[in-house]
A and B are shown apart, each in its own frame.
Chain A
């Protein structure tokens, strides 16, 4: 038994999981600490409210509200969990998008732009095809594939620029993000027909895909209930009252497919070879240019698919005036991927975790005097720490390694030494980039999309 654990512990994967878990624990701790500080220093709040806030932060997903006496109640909350799974769907896909790019040595910070292009094309296809002209499943598929393709093409642009002009993909991604934001705004502004005018109380939204295009008295108009939406696949019966649909299952299937692509196929092998060592890949006759473009296109396609699954739910609407902001879902793919150490299967869980924090934030706002920005602090802490996860891994691995090799005495000092410094060095740039990017991501989170 002890043997089994020590072997498990030596595994790279185990150490990654532990490192990520440590990041999460510290993140939650910092969030709780913040509540404690706010609660104990504010005149209007008390330690009792702080304790309530902390409990919500830690177990908010199981919160069922307050009872008549005003005490917090706990239990299985199908609505919270269903919504958590629903919101996890696009996060898993943007997380996969960033992870695939990372695996191939590229930093895809263009996920928001790819996500927006996917959104726009999905909506246009779903809302353009007249209701009843073809089976809804076909319309759904066309819209989904269209969104994915749009994302792929949008992602391919920074890839092309990087491959042929050697312009840094981060730069190109940031620019294509804002081009997408303005392009989409302009398009929906100019076309007008997709703007929701049926529900007079709202302005600035595009129709939900639940609305179908129908001819009424010789004019095209939109009627609720005659459009397309992702099948619920029975999930609505498990989680009644939530927005959940089959999209989460599709996301899981895609994650598994990405895992297989990256680990079992020659294409994945080529992509990873290019990412780890472009020179060696070239030396081996692998076209590094083709692989850079391909990798960015796959990443873009995944972001686009995320957008398609989110908006094809039929109960989400798109706030089209996005020229000032980029969708947070795109940027949040970065922490999702980082926390999952770029493992596609792990992305499923970290995506769900991030979405859980989201729900927890809502619960905080609804049930306590604190608000959802606490969860932003938690996410930010976790992102910082996941950049350190390499260091954490070395720390928890170093002691074990010492023991193991002391017995065998085979390793070469200079080798281990060089390796450690190299690892430490490679950890640093990640930390830098993340440090640079997070403020921006946080800054653009307002607005963007509304549910």
Chain B
């Protein structure tokens, strides 16, 4: 009997000490469909997929394939059942060639010797059939992230998997690469393969999926057809309350120049080439300027150079009229606040309590210390004020260890701290990374509010939606250079994608350079 559902996960319950990660969740994947799994961070998406892939054993519930109950004890069982997964963080061996990576674990051998020729022929066939172009002899460390993903997909196809799981596959891709991936996924579905697509990006889900299953806080919310729903109702399902998706903001009213960057250059750690190469621009009070680009094109190094975490090798930075090119981090901190990219590395001391983290830069101020002794009650009062004002949630309030807080609340705490420092320039690097819709909504509204209070905001983001909706001006960074300046009102994601991929560039940077 041929069942309509190729995979059924019925009433799955998975508990961890102290928490039920999956509480009676049912997921039915039809043959030949693209099924999206939507949910906020911690909603239980990854746990559910790990159960399907044999990494966890559920406490209750059954998995059926073609109507037959199956037991998946480890990933090998999953592979045997034709289930393949592209993980969010690729599982490739960097120093191996593409071909070696694809056949690893499923090698064709004769008398114990590798039969690479046969393998190569098969891989070539598959890659041609689906238009997945890869260089089989290149080493994985030398190829682009997009190509690495294609290698992961080829790995699944090489193993004849018929159920393909994609875990947040678009996070690392350019808009063009995303389009290609979507096309590939549709082609797979047409061939009868079934796809599980994990994401929290509503646009992509609406564009490619047939049905969506929504999880919230470990519980099953519902399964809907994408043609019967829209982004707004999906996000309401996901968060559990009406969410505002679009950022509402009045037109910017830029005032005087707060940050002026001229010919700024930061050397790279790994290469001889500069990580940031002769970058010039300015940010004025009352506007949000966004640096867009694909990860690894010098944005991180630029922010390090700007905030003093790394030394620059050329150019000049003027902040509020002072030359801070060679100033100490502390001196720069007098005029800028910095929401760092990596909240665990730079943003917080995870072993400190929340209140200690909230005064990370300010503990030396007279308000919080007296002749070298910390004024504990003042710190507590200040922390309580911020926690209340910015709705930072934690187990034990000010004394909660930062490590035990959820990512969203850690980020909220950092934003509370940085915004409350009340500096003319706010540098926000990927402020919403890894956060759910509710938290993103909140952080966006905070940044807009600060802009409207006359702050200059420099936003560095990899999320195109965020760039388009939040910024007043967009600077696109490619290989350490500003290759274009765009107005979000007069541009499209596609055009921006061309700049981000280096296919198109304006000479704005060069002109300014000559002018200066």
Q: Residues of A with Cβ closer than 8 Å to B?
A: 264-267, 269-270, 272-273, 276-277, 279-285, 398, 401-402, 404-406, 409-417, 419, 422
Contact = CB atoms under 8 A, between A and B. Distances in A.
Given A264-B376, A412-B41, A413-B218, 16 more contacts: A276-B349, A277-B345, A277-B350, A280-B345, A280-B347, A282-B309, A283-B329, A283-B360, A284-B329, A284-B360, A405-B17, A412-B19, A413-B42, A414-B41, A415-B406, A416-B18
Highest count of chain A CB atoms <10 Å: which of B41, B373, B376? B373
Interface string B316-334: 0000000000001110010
Contacts of A285: 328-330, 333, 361
A401 B360 contact: no
A265 B372 contact: yes
A414 B352 contact: no
A409 B19 contact: yes
Main secondary structure of the interface of A (DSSP, over half): helix
B223 to A, nearest CB: 22
Highest count of chain A CB atoms <10 Å: which of B19, B330, B347, B369? B19
A402 B18 contact: yes
B311 interface: no
A273 B407 CA distance: 20
B18 A280 contact: no
A69 B404 CA distance: 62
B364 A283 contact: no
25 contacts: A265-B374, A266-B363, A267-B372, A272-B352, A273-B349, A276-B350, A277-B348, A277-B349, A280-B348, A280-B360, A281-B349, A284-B333, A284-B361, A401-B17, A401-B18, A402-B17, A405-B19, A411-B395, A412-B19, A412-B406, A413-B16, A413-B20, A413-B42, A415-B406, A422-B403
A281 B352 CA distance: 12
B313 interface: no
Contacts of B361: 284-285
Interface in B349-404: 349-352, 356, 360-361, 363-364, 369, 372-374, 376, 395, 403-404
B349 A266 contact: no
Contacts of B373: 264-266
Contacts of A404: 18
Contact of A276 (B20, B47, B351): B351
Contact of A412 (B42, B351, B376): B42
B83 interface: no
A409 B42 CA distance: 13
Given A266-B364, A416-B18, A280 B349 contact: yes
A266 B403 contact: no
Highest count of chain B CB atoms <10 Å: which of A269, A401, A409, A410? A269
Nearest to A267: B372
A413 B328 contact: no
Contacts of A406: 18
B21 A413 contact: yes
A184 B348 CA distance: 44
B338 interface: yes
A381 B228 CA distance: 66
B346 interface: yes
B309 A266 contact: no
A411 B18 contact: yes
Nearest to A420: B17
Given A264-B373, A265-B373, A413-B42, A419 B18 contact: no
B431 interface: no
Contact of B352 (A267, A273, A409, A422): A273
Contact of A405 (B18, B309, B333): B18
A283 B346 contact: yes
A264 B42 contact: no
A404 to B, nearest CB: 7
A415 B351 contact: no
B286 interface: no
Nearest to A414: B42
B32 interface: no
A409 B218 CA distance: 11
B109 to A, nearest CB: 36
Contact of B347 (A264, A266, A283, A416): A283
A412 B18 CA distance: 9
B46 interface: yes
B484 interface: no
A417 B17 CA distance: 9
B92 to A, nearest CB: 22
B329 A415 contact: no
A319 B286 CA distance: 73
A413 B330 CA distance: 37
Nearest to B328: A285
Nearest to A260: B373
Nearest to B357: A280
B509 interface: no
B438 interface: no
Contacts of A409: 19-20
A331 B243 CA distance: 60
B340 interface: yes
Given A266-B364, A412-B406, A279 B345 contact: yes
Contacts of B352: 272-273, 276
B340 A283 contact: yes
A105 B244 CA distance: 44
B187 to A, nearest CB: 33
A267 B346 CA distance: 20
Contacts of B328: 285
Nearest to B407: A415
A398 to B, nearest CB: 6
A416 B19 contact: yes
Contact of B42 (A267, A277, A284, A415): A415
B44 interface: yes
A267 B363 CA distance: 10
Interface in B449-497: none
Nearest to A404: B18
Interface in B86-125: none
A404 B18 CA distance: 7
Nearest to B379: A269
B375 to A, nearest CB: 10
Contacts of A277: 345, 348-351
B369 A266 contact: yes
Contact of B374 (A269, A283, A398, A405): A269
Contact of A419 (B372, B374, B395, B404): B404
Nearest to B21: A413
B338 A283 contact: yes
Interface string B7-50: 00000000011111100000000000000000001101011000
Q: 8 shortest A-B CB distances, which residue pairs?
A: A285-B330, A405-B18, A413-B21, A412-B42, A283-B346, A284-B360, A413-B19, A413-B16
